[in-house]
């Protein structure tokens, strides 16, 4: 069963700092975005893939390595905030903010545009990361960043 995780404390410490800086800037700018998802277990990633909500199978997303975060728009509708992925939201400004903080933005991906997605650049390929994490643990990968 898939369980969404929005705890930024599970991300690489450098990404935690960058996400916190983004959230502060978004709040100061009045842009209604929030963290939607951070770390995913391989089984959760596979469930997201199987449901058609990701192009990445288990171990093929930086979410499994604590190096990716997804945002969501949280506009006020009536008296409450709702989740929204509508293209009407200012995803371009969100993307510029993330890029300014040194993140790779899914809105610039060539193969699939993923506006809510940001990644901390990793010096290893996803395949190299998987092999390293499976043998030495995620901290071995994190030490390279």
The residues, any chain, with a CB within 8 Å of residue 145's CB and separated by 6 or more, are: 12, 14, 67, 120, 122, 123
Sign of CA dihedral 122, 106, 138, 7: positive
pLDDT digits (tens, 9 = 90+) for 69-78: 999 998 777 8
Question: Residue 57 — very low, low, confident or very high, per pLDDT cuts 50/70/90?
Answer: very high
Position 81 pLDDT exceeds 90: no
Asked if residues 122 and 64 have their Cβ atoms less than 8 Å apart, the reply is: no
pLDDT digits (tens, 9 = 90+) for 84-115: 888 888 999 999 999 999 999 999 999 888 99
- The C-alpha angle with vertex 90 and arms to 84 and 93, in degrees rounded to 5, equals 135
Residue 35 DSSP SS3: strand
Residue 100 DSSP SS3: helix
Q: Which of 4, 6, 140, 145 is nearest to 67 (CA)?
A: 145
**Could you give all domains of the chain from N- to C-terminal order, each with its CATH number?**
8-142 (3.30.1380.10)
Tokens 């969100």 identify what position? 94
pTM: 0.93
Residue 14 DSSP SS3: helix
Cα separation, 32 vs 17, in Å, equals: 19
Q: Cα-flanking dihedrals φ and ψ of residue 87, to 5°?
A: -65, -10
pLDDT at 82: 82
pLDDT at 139: 97
pLDDT at 80: 78
């Amino acid at each position: 069963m898939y369980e969404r995780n929005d705890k930024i404390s599970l991300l690489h410490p450098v990404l935690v700092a960058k996400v916190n800086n983004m959230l502060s800037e978004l709040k100061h700018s009045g842009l209604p975005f929030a963290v939607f998802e951070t770390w995913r277990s391989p089984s959760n990633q596979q469930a997201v893939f199987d449901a058609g909500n990701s192009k990445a199978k288990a171990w093929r997303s930086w979410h499994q390595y604590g190096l990716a975060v997804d945002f969501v728009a949280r506009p006020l509708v009536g008296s409450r905030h709702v989740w929204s992925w509508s293209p009407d939201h200012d995803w371009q400004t969100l993307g510029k903010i993330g890029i300014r903080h040194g993140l790779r933005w899914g809105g610039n991906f060539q193969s699939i545009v993923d506006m809510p997605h940001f990644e901390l650049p990793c010096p290893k390929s996803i395949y190299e990361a998987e092999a390293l994490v499976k043998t030495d643990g995620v901290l071995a990968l994190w030490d390279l960043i």
